[in-house]
Structure 1
């Protein structure tokens, strides 16, 4: 049976308000961005469909995972942990209807970014996937996905930081079945890696040319690095040290980090 999700009863008023504001922020991004739309929502969880500038499609969906925690005022409670799932495809129907040509993309906010309310995290990720060609310059797995022909995607289960995971590998791990030694696979993982490496090399040349046109003062770089470090330290403070609030500057920084490939 499907149950509609509600905010946990033990959440503070500040945390509830931050969540609501982040969802309003996400709604504004989807409504105001060309190439974004809502998918049917399950249990009130946001599900966003994004068309990247590369003309690839992405579905961002949430899964709620619960862990038991002890709170002095409430006792044992179930705290919600969000899991962001990204599905990619060459065609819109591949993603919406979960056709065999859709693939899983292991991409999303990490570390300090997860301190933000979930609407902010999804909004920043949606903006980064909308600008997927720029994001792909810093995230190799996204570059691999973008350059892979649709026919090759049918054989792929997931693009991850560790490499391409093929459907047959997942099937073998789940069912322990024996497969013939010679499989007719015109688009294997090695060929996909070769295509991606060639594309990445070309992009690296473009980046080097762009960097040669700009001269950055060393002192300014140090100031910027110091500012980044200060922000990260603030984000990693314990909840009682840092109030739960909505900060648009942090959201835009999270998007910038995704575009620049920072984790």
Structure 2
């Protein structure tokens, strides 16, 4: 009596994905783990895409698969640190209605759409923007999104602002600077913090003011 191994939906979907990757212009790359899938796609426009799906390692992990898409004018731009700046992120939310399907089926659908990227560009403007963007300009683009194109300068400026903001409040402001009229106690800081942590900001100020008044009354 022969026993037949029944494939799981996930295994069937991965097999289907591998069949899709036999098509001209689609390549399934080797990875070091089954929890990471990388596929390279050449679109009809001549642009290239790298689709990566991954999730945390673990047999019983409930974390969903995360998918990212990089776009490039030249295939070799994916291959070295020198040319990687000429790749850009494509924030595509395609096939969100198919999240209930196994990852192989979802990737196959996405890859076929990217393979026919000219048709996809008619429905999704950011794909059209990417296709017509010159390669040299891609060096300055961080990502193409539905509502805007995010440049690397915008990312750098945001990071610089956040660093300056943090440094400003860490170096220049202490409790005494914000509320110089209050005599903040040194020995009971931990107790006060514990008592005030669940109160609103306004209630905290009122409580601190009340404590200050009590201290002044005791001194007099």
Give TM-score scaled by structure 2 length: 0.65
Q: Which segments of 5 or more consecutive residues in structure 2 lack a partner in the other structure?
A: 1-5, 165-220
Aligned counterparts, 1:129-148, within 5 A: 129-148=114-133
Deviation track 1:38-76 (CA, whole Å, cap 9, x = no partner) reads 22314222210000011100000013159xxxxxxxxxx
Partner of 1:35: 25
Is 1:175 the counterpart of 2:160? The answer is: yes
Bigger Rg over Cα: 2
Q: Is the 8 A contact 2:37 2:54 kept in 1?
A: no
Aligned counterparts, 1:174-213, within 5 A: 174-176=159-161
Structure 1 distance, partners of 2:115, 2:14, is 18
Q: Show structure 1 runs of 4+ deviating over 4 A.
A: none
Partner of 2:69: 86
Structure 2 distance, partners of 1:168, 1:100, is 13
Structure 2 distance, partners of 1:42, 1:108, is 27
Find the residue that maps to 2:118 and give its secondary structure: helix
Q: Which segments of 5 or more consecutive residues in structure 1 lack a partner in the other structure?
A: 1-13, 67-76, 179-263
Out of 165, 176, 200, which is 2:150 matched to? 165
Q: Is the 8 A contact 2:95 2:106 kept in 1?
A: no
Structure 2 distance, partners of 1:25, 1:58, is 20
Q: CA deviation at 1:112?
A: 2.1
Structure 2 distance, partners of 1:113, 1:137, is 21
Partner of 1:60: 51
Structure 1 distance, partners of 2:152, 2:132, is 19
Aligned counterparts, 1:216-235, within 5 A: none
Partner of 2:11: 20
Q: Is the 8 A contact 1:38 1:49 kept in 2?
A: yes
Out of 51, 76, 95, which is 2:78 matched to? 95
Is 1:153 the counterpart of 2:138? The answer is: yes
Q: Is the 8 A contact 1:84 1:108 kept in 2?
A: no
Partner of 1:115: 100
Deviation track 1:61-116 (CA, whole Å, cap 9, x = no partner) reads 013159xxxxxxxxxx7412111100000000112336111000011434321111
Q: Is the 8 A contact 1:57 1:95 kept in 2?
A: no
Task: Count the aligned residue pairs.
Answer: 154
Deviation track 1:148-190 (CA, whole Å, cap 9, x = no partner) reads 0001100000001121000111122223378xxxxxxxxxxxx
Label 1:37 to 1:152 Cα distance change in 2 as closer, same or farther (>3 A).
same
Find the residue that maps to 1:129 and give its secondary structure: helix
